[in-house]
């Protein structure tokens, strides 16, 4: 059940297809999960097996907690930035980034930035025309520049 | 079950709270539902009872089919525009509109435009500061001008 009272159907980790792309969402639930050692270990196992790992919002905090982002570029929700950073002090946390890409890892800022990241990911994997075609189909005004971040923080 | 194989939990019409805001989503399912007389009658009943009725994408076709948009401004998904128009020939269908507002009715273009409409609705009801605060919290780059429609069609 989400905090908006919408029920979300889930599968146990054992039934998850471990190939392909892993998307780690964020949200308030990440605060508790970041302290759940068994959960973080499962995220680590899935992340190692996945071809690509994408995070939205504070999902990057969970990924950082696994240690897999060591020395890598990443970003997170700008309103929970200090907390996100505390989960991986050796990560290159970017305060001005709509999204980041480093190796097989993509991380995005606050929730809406996830849309720009997903299209950026599709652009990287399937090419610009595919990304533009998809954004047109859903009438999405794509912010194509991952460094164009109107919600950047300076502190 | 959505066309993306995500299960969506629903309530029968009899259990829906008929006060407040009614949001009518779009999608491929609207093609069949627009021909379902009993369904359209239920949409009409709910729409009459609601304080506000908002549609996203081809949801406006279902609302148009009720006759409640007679003579009013409306828009829809630009890739299904002719079909949407066929469901209400006496509606003022706008080919260039991110979203429209006429009386208690709000309609938006293709799915992503729904976000701009919702914030426009919140702006109208609760004021600009509330809308800007919410869009900032979700790091959403709000297209505040409902006439700014990069996906407008001319034909």
Predicted local confidence at residue A51, as pLDDT: 96
CB atoms near residue B133 (< 10 Å): 12
In b/e form, how buried is each residue of A108-138, taking b as 16+ CB within 10 angstroms?
A: bbbbbbbbbbbbbbbbeeeeeeebeebbeeb
Mean pLDDT over the full length of chain A: 95
Mutant choice from B118, B141, B143, B145 vs A, greatest count of A C-beta within 10 A: B141
A99: helix, strand or coil: strand
CB within 8 Å: B79 and A141: no
Backbone angles phi, psi at B138, to 5 degrees: -100, 10
Tokens 């480093």 sit on residue: A102
SS3 B41: helix
In sequence order, what E strands does B16-95 have?
21-24, 52-55, 73-74, 92-93
In the three-class reduction of DSSP (H, G, I as helix; E, B as strand; rest coil), residue A128 is classed as helix
Distance to chain B for A82, nearest Cα, Å: 16
What pLDDT does residue A155 have? Answer: 67
Residue (of A12, A15, A77, A67) closest to A40 by Cα position: A67
For residue range A94-144, list pLDDT tens digits in order.
999 999 999 999 999 999 999 999 999 999 999 999 999 999 999 999 999
- Residue A136, chain B, CB below 8 Å: the answer is yes
* Tally: H helices and E strands in chain A: 6, 6
The pLDDT tens digits for A71-97 are 999 999 999 999 999 999 999 999 999
- Residue by residue, DSSP assigns B97-117 as -SEEEETTEEEESSTTHHHHH
Evaluate if residue A65 carries a pLDDT over 80.
yes
pTM of the full structure: 0.92
Is residue B150 classed as helix, strand or coil in its secondary structure? coil
A contact test, residue of B2, B139, B153 with most A CBs within 10 A: B139
Give the residue on A whose Cα is nearest the Cα of B1.
Answer: A9
Nearest CA in chain A to B135: A112
- Give the pLDDT mean for A42-61: 97
Q: What is the least distance, in Å, from the CA of B122 to any CA of chain A?
A: 17
Residue of B nearest to A151 (CA): B139
Min Cα separation A127/chain B (Å): 21
Q: B55 has which bridge partners?
A: B24, B107
CA B126 to chain centre: 19
Please answer yes or no on whether B138 and A111 come within 8 Å at the CB atom: yes
In the block, which residue shows the tokens 């828009």?
B75
Size of interface A-B (CB pairs under 8 A): 46
Q: Nearest Cβ partner of A139 from B6, B112, B139? A: B112
- Mean pLDDT, rounded, of chain B: 95
What is the distance between the alpha carbons of residues A86 and B127, in angstroms, rounded to a whole number? 36
- Which residues in chain A have Cβ-Cβ distances shorter than 8 Å to B141? 112, 141, 143, 150
Q: Which of residues 76-105 of B touch A (CB under 8 A)?
A: 77-79
- Residue A144 CB coordination number (10 Å): 14
CB of A110 within 8 Å of a chain B CB? The answer is yes
Instruction: Compare CB distances from A113 to B77, B139, B150 and report the shortest one's residue.
Output: B139
- Taking only residues 14 to 33 of chain A, the set having a beta carbon closer than 8 angstroms to any beta carbon of chain B reads none
Segment B65-121, tens digit of pLDDT: 999 999 999 999 999 999 999 999 999 999 999 999 999 999 999 999 999 999 999
Residues A64-82 as b/e (b if ≥16 CB within 10 A, e otherwise) read bbbebbeebbbbbbbbbbe
Percent over 70 (pLDDT), chain B? 99
Give residues with Cβ within 8 angstroms of A12, minimum separation 6: none
* Percent residues over pLDDT 70 in chain A: 99
Query: Which residues fall within 8 angstroms of residue A6, CB to CB, at 6 or more apart?
Result: B9
- How is residue A17 written in tokens? 């297809």
Return the ∠ at Cα B109 (arms to A144 and A110), rounded to 5°. Answer: 40
* Chain A residues whose beta carbon lies within 8 Å of the beta carbon of residue B132: none
Candidate from A79, A113, A115 with C-beta closest to B137:
A79
* ipTM for this prediction: 0.91
The beta-strand segments (E) located in chain B are 21-24, 52-55, 73-74, 92-93, 99-102, 105-108
| Helical (H) or strand (E) element with B143 | none
């Amino acid at each position: 059940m989400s905090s908006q009272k919408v029920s979300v159907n889930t599968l146990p980790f054992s039934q998850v297809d471990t190939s392909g792309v892993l998307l780690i969402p964020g949200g308030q639930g990440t605060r508790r999960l970041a302290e759940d050692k068994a959960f973080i270990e499962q995220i680590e196992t899935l992340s190692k097996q996945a071809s690509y790992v994408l995070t939205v919002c504070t999902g990057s905090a969970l990924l950082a907690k696994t240690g897999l982002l060591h020395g890598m570029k990443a970003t997170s929700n700008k309103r929970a930035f200090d907390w996100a950073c505390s989960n991986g002090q050796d990560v290159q946390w970017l305060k001005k980034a709509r999204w980041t890409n480093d190796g097989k890892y993509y991380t995005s800022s606050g929730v809406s930035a996830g849309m720009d990241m997903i299209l950026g990911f599709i652009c990287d994997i399937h090419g610009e025309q595919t990304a533009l075609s998809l954004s047109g189909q859903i009438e999405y005004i794509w912010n194509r520049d991952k460094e164009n971040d109107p919600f950047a923080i300076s502190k």
